[in-house]
């Protein structure tokens, strides 16, 4: 087994380099290599040696069964890809080649001066990349399926007294988590032991049994943090908000031990709800102890049978779960594609409810402000036009956009210069820009009153913890400038500058980044499953904390890194990170982008916001 | 090379060359596509104007139905907590005797806990800025998970940032559409939402009625006999609470475990209230009934009640809990538990472990109150709740229509409020599967003194006589 793999890999590496194929192939090779221990070491070796260990040995190897399989399946994939390409490249039509950032400003001569605000890019990968990615994934699955026969699970086995019970998991899930996900497990759930600020201290861990178990090695490593949702840099353990929180702990303790409908309210609640409403520019707001729960506890009470919901395909799990809990019908539309939405809206209204043909009771469109995996910003102006024409209601989840978008940090409405009252329900979380916990719903008095009466959260869940409320209100006041300083404005400006700079620089490197130029979430496409793994590992070695998203959280062939930019990042930190990304882009072949690049030097000082 | 298998199949079937085969398939596809688009055209026969007409004429219902008056949002009209929650709690600046907050051990106002929370604040800040997978796992999360697992003598625990989502997500991580869940009809709302999310078949059995459960299981067994191979794959779960939130009763764990073993059901217990309060050393219903924890597949709980913090957790074998980390939605896709709440939970457990007497004290207080209530108030209330349970439900002795009961109970609670005692009345939404009967919920704090208990009882008695007098009610026993 191991012989086959190694030999096979060698052959492919030679072929790959001899024919000057795009370096994407390396990732695929790592896939093949991952399986056997010997080959794994070899792979790591080759990479730390600058990926050059095999370059010079040109001896041809006979084709083994496995490489024959590779070629066969890659051909099959190629055919598949060619014919079904449209299915995959739904984004490609949107990706007008343009220069990112300041370079593209020069080209702006459109009738709509705000067009740039919703300009986004989802550059489609080449056929070759998709084929190798799928192939790579197939290989990982095949080889791990083999290794499952050889190595029995070492930990986490079912209790003996449950023999004869129906299996708790289906076979594939178990296989995927035990044999596929386990191989890359070390790159997720990394424990930290400091505040998750712009720098974060990771607790180093090692595994002596191929990631079945981990042990702490006793050391820590300080990393530049490009992984936490710390958009405004409030993840700090000192400063005005921490002092205020401390005082609150002293007066209120950490919990009121009761739900808001019983004795779970304090003056802080009223203050925070009023402040949130004022901050967002709407009538009223209601707060809950968990952002995820804000969706899950409340959407079901607005929706009933006979309602129709249009949900963006990239919507967050909390939205999907809450729709599942409601009895409403659900239609999914293509990500940020207003044409698709309009077409589906028309059909839905014209046809009415299935079977009965009765008109729908109401239609709710659910979108997010900034999409956390795609880095795109909702096309709100177009959406509002649809809202007016088709009389639908709008629910915008601003988890990632509140604080991070708009000149005053008020989210996506302010970013587009739209009156927030035009949106029926604004939802957001306090976990990100405010470095706290919980979520809010905001809107007209009528809507919020209804939610207040009927929300599952006000009756069945304990109210928000007072110190956490205090953290939110102090940071919110800082953002609004009500603390008497311009600290909030400074952070917002810094964040915008950092985002622009970082995105422009990455684009110049030639990697594919997704989304809007002004979005704080920057996904960098890696595609290959095991390339993702190796890149994540290497980032850790170089003391940069980044997040990788692979299957099943992202589509199979769309593995990506995700950077979250913070106002706290200094130019030096960003430059260090960018330098490392540029290096890795060469080393691992991440320069997939075919767009024209801006050649000149991008200066931090000159970045326009 | 790729075509080899194709060609052989091709030759075998059609005895033609590859080109022919490809050509034919292409033609076939084109034909089908034409057919499809033709049919589609025929269907949408409406003209653009007609379509616009329909769209113009469609008027949705308002987003929310607003028959009710606006809510009064003047804070002056609300009972607002203005101090730490303890036996004596300040409401709007005045001191009240508190029998309403779920703070059984008083950890919400414990100085040791507070000190550790403040230290933690200075180390970690307030939020975690990310889910567990993405740098939101703090070392103190892992420590608390380890602590919980060790406390229960089980393999692993997983922390959630919200008690509600812990229970609701835990269930749907295992139970899927084809599965069957047997649940007590009095399970709390969190569990009900978990049942909804799982989309499995739900069978409710009567509250704590083992015969009914057995009958339902037997019924299912008969159904299974019709299709044994399919039945083998159906996962079965039994979901109960340790101490029921809505009744205060303890579950009949030994019988449940026996039945579940016989019928091969996995047992999930929501121990939000019973954990830390029941059993010799506070290890919940398994300890109380002396049943090995291996008999229970998953224990769900929350840091909100006994520990006076926030968040939830599940405990079980690694085999079971691991799944939470991969597909518990509220675990994977939500920011992790705030460090200060984590530390508060940790500190609380450690205090509990160090001071073994605390648990005994709570039990004796609970028993005492139980006794007193039954002795002094049996004319008015039937007391529901296990004697050691830290929550007691007081139901009216006479049964009346729901809204009348509600008004009476409300006036009783109001009267007590005037006499500086807070009691709570749980509020329920009409989404409950089986609407619980209105009741007064009494929670017990370990630090409450006997004189305070007598005071509460006498005020409650006064309240009842007053209210009943006003309502011209004659109780059955009078
Ligand atoms: C769009 C969206 N909604 C809701 C949430 C959940 O928020 P919280 O982490 O506060 O539970 C998230 C978090 O990742 C999110 O991205």
Model confidence pLDDT, tens digit, residues B13-36: 445 566 766 777 788 788 788 777
Beta carbons within 8 Å of A574's beta carbon, 6+ residues apart: A498, A501, A502, A505, A604
For range B446-461, the mean pLDDT: 93
Q: Which two tokens stand for residue A367?
A: 């979108």
Hey, are the CB atoms on A192 and B137 less than 8 Å from each other?
Answer: yes
From the alpha carbon of A315, which atom of ligand 1 is closest? Answer: 1
Q: How far is the CA of A117 from the centre of ligand 1 (A)?
A: 23
Tell me if A439 CB under 6 Å of ligand 1.
yes
Task: Give the Å distances, CA to CA, from A587 to A23, A50, A492, A507, A536.
Answer: 8, 7, 35, 17, 13
Q: Which of A7-16, B267-276, B403-412 has the lowest mean pLDDT?
A: A7-16
pLDDT at residue B35, as a whole number: 77
Task: Characterize the bridge pairing of strands A544-545 and A215-225.
Answer: parallel
> Rounded to a whole number, what is the distance in Å from the CA of A607 to chain B's nearest CA?
27
DSSP A215: E
pLDDT tens digits, one per residue of A115-154:
778 888 888 888 888 888 888 888 888 888 888 888 877 7
Q: Scanning every residue of chain A, which has its alpha carbon at the shortest distance from the alpha carbon of B4?
A: A72
Residues from chain A that touch B128, judged by Cβ atoms under 8 A, are 196, 228, 431, 437
For range B154-176, the mean pLDDT: 92
Of B9 and B334, more confident: B334
For range B369-397, the mean pLDDT: 92
Q: How many CB atoms lie within 10 A of CB B362?
A: 26
pLDDT at residue A34, as a whole number: 34
Q: How far apart are CA A302 and CA A286, in angstroms?
A: 15
Tell me if A292 CB under 6 Å of ligand 1.
yes
Q: How far apart are CA A25 and CA A13, in angstroms?
A: 8
Q: Which of A195, A424, A547 sits opposite B134 (nearest CB)?
A: A547
Confidence of residue A59 (pLDDT cuts 50, 70, 90): very low
> Is B273 exposed, middle or buried (CB count within 10 Å of its CB: 0-12, 13-18, 19+)?
buried
Tell me if B334 CB under 6 Å of ligand 1.
yes
For range B433-451, the mean pLDDT: 93
Span between the terminal Cα atoms of chain A, in Å? 56
Hey, are the CB atoms on A228 and B136 less than 8 Å from each other?
Answer: yes
Q: What is the mean pLDDT of chain B?
A: 89
Cβ contact B413:B449 at 8 Å: no
Whose CA is closest to atom 10 on ligand 1?
Answer: A291
Q: How far apart are CA B60 and CA B440, in angstroms?
A: 41
3-state helix, strand, coil in chain B (%, to 5): 50, 15, 35
pLDDT at residue A595, as a whole number: 84
pLDDT at residue A80, as a whole number: 56
Whether A559 shows a pLDDT value over 70: the answer reads: yes
Residues from chain B that touch A469, judged by Cβ atoms under 8 A, are none
> Rounded to a whole number, what is the distance in Å from the CA of B477 to chain A's nearest CA?
31
The residue among A383, A384, A175, A396 whose CA lies nearest residue A282 is A396
Q: How far apart are CA B249 and CA B270, in angstroms?
A: 13
Hey, are the CB atoms on B333 and A72 less than 8 Å from each other?
Answer: no
Confidence of residue B68 (pLDDT cuts 50, 70, 90): confident
Q: How far apart are CA A555 and CA A542, in angstroms?
A: 28
Of A354 and A37, more confident: A354
Whether B391 shows a pLDDT value over 70: the answer reads: yes
Q: Is B466 left (phi over 0), alpha (psi -120 to 50) or beta?
A: alpha
Q: Where are the alpha helices (DSSP H) in B73-209?
A: 111-124, 139-152, 163-174, 189-198
The residue among A201, A542, A430, A431 whose CA lies nearest residue B139 is A201
Cβ contact A569:A198 at 8 Å: yes
> Which residue is associated with the tokens 């967002």?
A280
β-partners of residue A440 are: A287, A428
Hey, are the CB atoms on B83 and A164 less than 8 Å from each other?
Answer: no
> Which residue is associated with the tokens 């003056």?
A267
Highest mean pLDDT out of A19-28, A69-78, A487-496: A487-496
Q: How far apart are CA A159 and CA B154, in angstroms?
A: 11
> Rounded to a whole number, what is the distance in Å from the CA of B221 to chain A's nearest CA?
14
Q: How far is the CA of A267 from the centre of ligand 1 (A)?
A: 26
Hey, are the CB atoms on B102 and A258 less than 8 Å from each other?
Answer: yes
Q: What is the mean pLDDT of chain A?
A: 82
Confidence of residue B469 (pLDDT cuts 50, 70, 90): low
Q: Which helix (H) or strand (E) holds B421?
A: strand B421-422
Cβ contact B194:B181 at 8 Å: no
Kindly provide the ipTM of the predicted complex, given to two decimals: 0.88
Q: How far apart are CA B245 and CA B164, in angstroms?
A: 13
Q: How far is the CA of A319 from the centre of ligand 1 (A)?
A: 9
Whether A156 shows a pLDDT value over 90: the answer reads: no
From the alpha carbon of A400, which atom of ligand 1 is closest? Answer: 16
Q: Which of A188, A263, A316 sits opposite B100 (nearest CB)?
A: A263
Q: Which of B1, B78, B318 sits opposite A156 (nearest CB)?
A: B318
pLDDT at residue A18, as a whole number: 33
- pLDDT cut 70: percent of chain B above it: 92
Span between the terminal Cα atoms of chain B, in Å? 96
3-state helix, strand, coil in chain A (%, to 5): 45, 15, 40
Q: How far apart are CA A280 and CA A333, in angstroms?
A: 28
Task: Characterize the bridge pairing of strands A307-312 and A362-368.
Answer: parallel
CA A399 to the chain's CA centroid: 12
Tell me if A443 CB under 6 Å of ligand 1.
no
Task: Characterize the bridge pairing of strands A544-545 and A521-527.
Answer: unpaired
- pLDDT cut 90: percent of chain A above it: 57
Tell me if A429 CB under 6 Å of ligand 1.
yes
Confidence of residue B139 (pLDDT cuts 50, 70, 90): very high
Q: Which of B1, B62, B108 sits opposite A253 (nearest CB)?
A: B108
Hey, are the CB atoms on A235 and B75 less than 8 Å from each other?
Answer: no
Hey, are the CB atoms on B63 and A302 less than 8 Å from each other?
Answer: yes
Confidence of residue B307 (pLDDT cuts 50, 70, 90): very high
Q: How far is the CA of A204 from the centre of ligand 1 (A)?
A: 27
Whether A604 shows a pLDDT value over 80: the answer reads: yes
Q: How far apart are CA B68 and CA B457, in angstroms?
A: 37
Highest mean pLDDT out of A548-562, B55-69, B182-196: B182-196
Cβ contact A412:A380 at 8 Å: yes
Residues from chain B that touch A390, judged by Cβ atoms under 8 A, are 55
Task: Characterize the bridge pairing of strands B266-270 and B298-302.
Answer: parallel
pLDDT at residue B32, as a whole number: 83
pLDDT at residue A81, as a whole number: 52
Q: How far apart are CA B328 and CA B172, in angstroms?
A: 8
Q: Which two tokens stand for residue A259?
A: 């739900």
From the alpha carbon of A295, which atom of ligand 1 is closest? Answer: 4
pLDDT at residue A26, as a whole number: 36
Task: Characterize the bridge pairing of strands B94-98 and B88-91.
Answer: antiparallel
Q: How far apart are CA B250 and CA B385, in angstroms?
A: 7
Q: How many residues are there in chain A?
A: 609
Q: How far apart are CA B409 and CA A490, in angstroms?
A: 55
pLDDT tens digits, one per residue of A430-443:
999 999 999 999 99
Hey, are the CB atoms on B123 and A261 less than 8 Å from each other?
Answer: no
Q: Which of A75-79, A305-309, B90-94, B302-306 has the lowest mean pLDDT?
A: A75-79
Whose CA is closest to atom 5 on ligand 1?
Answer: A292
Tell me if A298 CB under 6 Å of ligand 1.
no
Q: Which of B71, B134, B233 sits opposite A452 (nearest CB)?
A: B71
> Is A510 exposed, middle or buried (CB count within 10 Å of its CB: 0-12, 13-18, 19+)?
middle
Whether B386 shows a pLDDT value over 70: the answer reads: yes
Regarding pTM above 0.95, the answer is no
pLDDT tens digits, one per residue of A182-239:
888 888 899 999 999 999 999 999 998 888 889 999 999 999 999 999 999 999 999 9
> Which residue is associated with the tokens 């190796």?
A534
Q: Scanning every residue of chain B, which has its alpha carbon at the shortest distance from the alpha carbon of A164?
A: B264
Q: How many residues are there in chain B?
A: 478
Tell me if A399 CB under 6 Å of ligand 1.
yes
3-class state of residue B345 by DSSP: helix
Instruction: Count CA within 13 A, CB hemisphere, residue A224.
Output: 22
Task: Characterize the bridge pairing of strands A199-206 and B440-443.
Answer: unpaired
Tell me if B165 CB under 6 Å of ligand 1.
no
The residue among B113, B167, B161 whose CA lies nearest residue B137 is B161
Of B100 and B45, more confident: B100
For range A53-78, the mean pLDDT: 44
- pLDDT cut 70: percent of chain A above it: 81
Q: How many CB atoms lie within 10 A of CB A5?
A: 25
Q: Is A403 left (phi over 0), alpha (psi -120 to 50) or beta?
A: left
Confidence of residue A43 (pLDDT cuts 50, 70, 90): very low
Max Cα separation, chain A?
Answer: 78
> Do you find a cis peptide bond into B188, omega within 30 degrees of 0?
no
Q: Scanning every residue of chain B, which has its alpha carbon at the shortest distance from the alpha carbon of A316?
A: B333
> Is B28 exposed, middle or buried (CB count within 10 Å of its CB: 0-12, 13-18, 19+)?
exposed
> Rounded to a whole number, what is the distance in Å from the CA of B471 to chain A's nearest CA?
25
3-class state of residue A145 by DSSP: helix
Cβ contact B161:A436 at 8 Å: no
From the alpha carbon of A372, which atom of ligand 1 is closest? Answer: 16
Of A456 and A92, more confident: A456
pLDDT at residue A93, as a whole number: 36
Q: Which of B46-50, B114-118, B261-265 has the lowest mean pLDDT?
A: B46-50
Task: Give the Å distances, CA to CA, from A495 to A521, A552, A564.
Answer: 11, 30, 10
Whose CA is closest to atom 15 on ligand 1?
Answer: A399
pLDDT at residue A25, as a whole number: 34
């Amino acid at each position: 087994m191991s012989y086959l793999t190694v030999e096979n890999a060698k052959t492919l590496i030679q072929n790959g380099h001899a024919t000057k194929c795009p370096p994407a192939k390396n990732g695929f090779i790592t896939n093949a290599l991952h399986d056997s221990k010997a080959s794994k070491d070899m792979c790591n070796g080759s990479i730390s040696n600058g990926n050059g260990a095999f370059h010079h040995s040109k001896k041809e190897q006979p084709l083994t069964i496995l490489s024959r399989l590779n070629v066969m399946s890659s051909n099959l994939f190629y055919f598949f890809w060619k014919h079904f390409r449209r299915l995959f490249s739904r984004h490609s039509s949107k990706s007008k080649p343009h220069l990112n950032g300041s370079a593209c400003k020069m080209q702006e001569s459109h009738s709509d001066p705000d067009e740039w605000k919703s300009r986004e890019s989802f550059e489609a990968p080449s056929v070759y990349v998709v084929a190798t990615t799928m192939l790579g994934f197939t290989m990982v699955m095949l080889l791990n399926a083999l290794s499952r026969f050889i190595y029995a699970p070492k930990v986490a086995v079912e209790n003996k007294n449950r023999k004869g019970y129906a299996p708790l998991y289906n076979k594939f899930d178990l296989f995927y988590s035990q044999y596929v996900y386990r191989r890359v497990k070390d790159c997720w759930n990394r424990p930290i032991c400091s505040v998750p600020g712009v720098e974060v201290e990771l607790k180093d861990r090692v595994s002596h049994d191929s990631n079945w178990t981990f042990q702490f090695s006793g050391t820590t490593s300080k990393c530049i943090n490009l992984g936490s949702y710390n958009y405004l840099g409030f993840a700090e353990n000192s400063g005005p908000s921490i002092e205020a929180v401390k005082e609150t702990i002293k007066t209120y303790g950490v919990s009121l031990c009761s739900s808001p409908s019983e004795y779970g309210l304090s003056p802080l609640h009223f203050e925070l709800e009023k402040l949130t409403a004022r901050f967002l520019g709407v009538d009223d707001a209601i707060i809950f102890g968990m952002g995820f729960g804000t969706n899950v506890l409340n959407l079901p009470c607005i929706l009933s049978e006979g309602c129709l919901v249009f949900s963006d395909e990239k919507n967050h799990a909390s939205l999907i779960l809450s729709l599942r809990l409601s009895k409403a019908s659900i239609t999914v539309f293509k990500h940020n594609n207003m044409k698709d939405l309009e077409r589906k809206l028309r059909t839905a209204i014209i046809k009415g409810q299935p079977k009965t043909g009765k008109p729908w009771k109401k239609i709710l469109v659910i979108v997010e402000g900034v999409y956390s995996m795609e880095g795109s910003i909702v096309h709100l102006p177009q959406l509002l036009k649809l809202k007016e024409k088709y009389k639908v209601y709008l629910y915008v989840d601003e988890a990632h956009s509140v604080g991070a978008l708009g000149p005053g940090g008020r989210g996506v409405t302010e970013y587009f210069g739209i009156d927030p009252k035009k949106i029926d329900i604004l939802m957001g979380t306090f976990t990100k820009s405010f470095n706290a916990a919980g979520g809010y719903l905001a809107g007209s008095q009528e809507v919020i009153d209804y939610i207040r009466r009927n929300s599952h959260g006000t009756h069945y869940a304990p109210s928000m913890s007072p110190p956490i409320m205090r953290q939110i209100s102090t940071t919110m006041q800082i953002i609004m400038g009500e603390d008497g300083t311009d600290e909030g404005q400074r952070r917002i400006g810094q964040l915008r500058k950092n985002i622009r700079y970082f995105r422009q620089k990455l684009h110049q490197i030639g990697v594919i980044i997704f989304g809007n130029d002004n979005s704080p979430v920057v996904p960098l496409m890696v595609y290959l499953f095991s390339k993702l793994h190796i890149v994540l590992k290497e980032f850790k070695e170089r003391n940069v904390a980044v997040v990788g998203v692979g299957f099943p959280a992202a589509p199979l062939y769309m593995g990506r890194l995700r950077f979250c930019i913070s106002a706290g990042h200094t130019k030096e930190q960003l430059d260090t990170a960018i330098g490392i990304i540029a290096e890795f882009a060469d080393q691992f072949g991440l320069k997939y982008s075919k767009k024209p690049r801006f050649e000149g030097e991008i200066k931090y000082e000159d970045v326009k916001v | 090379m790729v075509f080899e298998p194709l060609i052989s199949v091709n030759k075998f079937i059609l005895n033609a060359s590859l080109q022919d085969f490809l050509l034919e398939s292409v033609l076939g596809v084109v034909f089908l596509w034409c057919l499809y688009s033709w049919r589609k055209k025929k269907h949408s026969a409406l003209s653009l104007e007609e379509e616009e007409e329909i769209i113009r004429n469609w008027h949705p219902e308002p987003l929310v139905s607003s028959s009710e008056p606006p809510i009064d949002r003047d804070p002056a009209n609300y009972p607002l907590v203005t101090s730490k929650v303890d036996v004596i709690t300040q409401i709007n600046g005045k001191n009240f005797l508190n029998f309403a907050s779920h703070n059984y051990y008083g950890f919400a106002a414990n100085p040791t806990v507070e000190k550790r929370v403040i230290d933690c604040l200075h180390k970690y800040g307030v939020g975690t800025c990310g889910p567990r997978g993405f740098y939101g796992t703090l070392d103190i999360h892992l420590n608390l998970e380890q602590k919980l697992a060790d406390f229960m003598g089980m393999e692993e625990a997983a922390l959630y940032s919200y008690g509600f989502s812990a229970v609701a997500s835990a269930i749907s991580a295992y139970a899927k559409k084809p599965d069957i869940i047997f649940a007590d009809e009095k399970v709390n709302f969190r569990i009900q939402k978990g049942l909804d999310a799982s989309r499995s078949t739900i069978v409710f059995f009567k509250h704590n009625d083992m015969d009914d459960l057995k009958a339902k299981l037997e019924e299912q067994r008969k159904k299974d006999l019709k299709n044994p191979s399919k039945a083998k794959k159906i996962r079965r779960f039994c979901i109960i609470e340790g101490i029921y939130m809505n009744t205060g009763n303890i579950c009949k764990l030994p019988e449940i475990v026996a039945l579940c073993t016989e019928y091969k059901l996995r047992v999930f217990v929501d121990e939000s209230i019973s954990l830390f309060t029941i059993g010799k050393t506070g290890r919940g219903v398994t300890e109380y009934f002396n049943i090995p924890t291996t008999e229970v597949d998953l224990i769900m709980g929350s840091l909100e009640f006994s520990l006076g913090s926030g968040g939830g957790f599940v405990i079980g074998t690694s085999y079971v809990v691991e799944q939470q980390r991969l597909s518990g939605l509220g675990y994977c896709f939500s920011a992790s538990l705030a460090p200060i709440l984590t530390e508060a939970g940790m500190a609380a457990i450690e205090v509990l472990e160090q001071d073994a007497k605390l648990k005994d004290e709570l039990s004796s207080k609970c028993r005492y109150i139980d006794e007193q209530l039954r002795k002094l108030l049996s004319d008015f209330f039937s007391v529901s709740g296990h004697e050691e349970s830290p929550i007691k439900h007081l139901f009216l002795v006479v049964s009346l229509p729901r809204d009348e009961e509600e008004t009476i109970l409300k006036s009783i609670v109001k009267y007590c409020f005037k006499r500086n005692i807070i009691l709570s009345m749980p509020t329920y939404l009409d989404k409950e599967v089986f609407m619980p009967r209105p009741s007064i919920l009494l929670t017990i704090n370990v630090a409450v003194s006997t004189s305070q208990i007598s005071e509460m009882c006498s005020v409650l008695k006064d309240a009842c006589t007053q209210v009943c007098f006003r309502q011209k009610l004659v109780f059955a026993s009078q």
